[in-house]
Amino acid sequence: MTLARLVLASASALALAACASVPAYPTVAVMPLAETGVVGATGDSADDPAIWVSPTDPAQSLVLGTNKQEGLVVFALDGSEAQRLPLGPINNVDVRQGLGGPFDLAVASNDTQGISVFSIKRATGEVAHINDIQTGKAEPYGICLGDGKSRPIAGVTYKDGTIELWEIDGEADGVTGKLVRSVKLATQLEGCVFDEPNGTLVIGEEEHGIWTLAYEEADSQPVELDAIAAGNGLVADVEGVSIWRGKDGKGWIVASAQAANRYVVYERQAPHTPMGAFKIGENTEAGVDGVTHTDGIDIVSAALPQYPRGLLTVQDDANPLKEQDQNFKLVSWADVEAALGLPLLEAE
């Protein structure tokens, strides 16, 4: 049993005494294996990544990254730029594959256009802007995409604490959206991720913590997964959230604790036990700097070249100077598993 696990065993007894900014277990370190090119703007520019896994050649998989000053930038796994789509102030992006249509789907929160929708050709990975869905509410902030009962469903978060659920319908030449539900939390939201096998939507409330919502139940209410005050490692802002997806609904939820430059890991299934925290340090051999002040994150559990247990990609605020040449770092999930002593689950 690792030191992190021994400490976690007594976490319940220490919870009342734990400081909200210091977790009750060690924060371990991992290194990035690679990084993308810069998004091409100084200041607060890069924000959120999403990973597309090529169904024909894993080596051709892509990282879609947002540039809040310009649009969407697409990177190959070696970090080189593959495409640039200048669509305006895009904040967050998410990808879902195998939803039943003739192409894979991506959505982005667009400050001026609502939900920007993209197709991804399965054979080539070419990304194309399809359409924009106006939400009728100012400044969509975070976004996530899931597989609903009958069609894809997007979760859109706002700074006033609202999360909206939108059904997405249509073909490659155009899509439409229908608002099916709106839920209000107390304060600003951003990161979210759908967990379809477990029927939940995981939501980050920046100044409070993490919630889950049974999104297919019309009368469900948010349930607290963790709070900053609980002392499990979260700090404000709680930013990106994502899931390493194992079989039978098992796996790990990961959240960015932005101001502490760390990431907190939880069991995917209730009661969502905290499993530890990690930071991403400098890889001097590869010439990749460490990561600070992460906003968005994404994880896939598919085996990719150099990433046999999956890939974690995170936004880096400083490359290496704060708010200059921001980009995204690529981390092997196998390194996170080893650092935290996580059980090796079978990937989805």
pLDDT in tens, 87-112: 999 999 999 998 877 789 999 999 98
d(CA 165, CA 163) in angstroms, rounded, equals 7
Length of the chain: 348
Are 82 and 62 in contact by the 8 Å Cβ rule? The answer is yes
Residue 172 pLDDT level (bands cut at 50, 70, 90): low
Q: Which two three-digit tokens encode residue 292?
A: 């600070």
pLDDT in tens, 12-65: 333 333 344 456 678 999 999 999 999 987 788 999 999 999 999 999 999 999
Give how far Cα 139 sits from Cα of 52, 89, 177, Å: 26, 10, 17
For residue 189, pLDDT over 90 is answered with: yes
DSSP string, 143-177: EEEEE-SSSEEEEEE-TTSEEEEEEEEEETTEEEE
Rounded to 5°, angle at Cα 25 from 24 and 26: 135
Q: Return the CATH architecture of domain 3-340.
A: 6 Propeller (2.120)
Comparing 256 with 112, the larger pLDDT belongs to 256
CA distances to 55, 79, 108, 283, 344 from 62, in Å: 11, 9, 16, 22, 25
DSSP state of 112: T
Question: Under a CB-based contact definition with an 8 Å cutoff, are residues 98 and 54 in contact?
Answer: no
- CA angle, residues 288, 291, 297, in degrees to nearest 5: 110
Residue 2: pLDDT over 60: no
Q: What is the pLDDT of residues 119-159, one digit of tens each?
A: 999 999 999 999 999 999 999 999 999 998 788 999 999 99
Nearest to 263 by CA among 321, 342, 319: 342
Output the six-digit token pair for 324.
Answer: 């200059």
Dihedral sign for Cα 134, 139, 145, 150, please. negative
Looking at every residue in the chain, the average pLDDT score rounds to 91
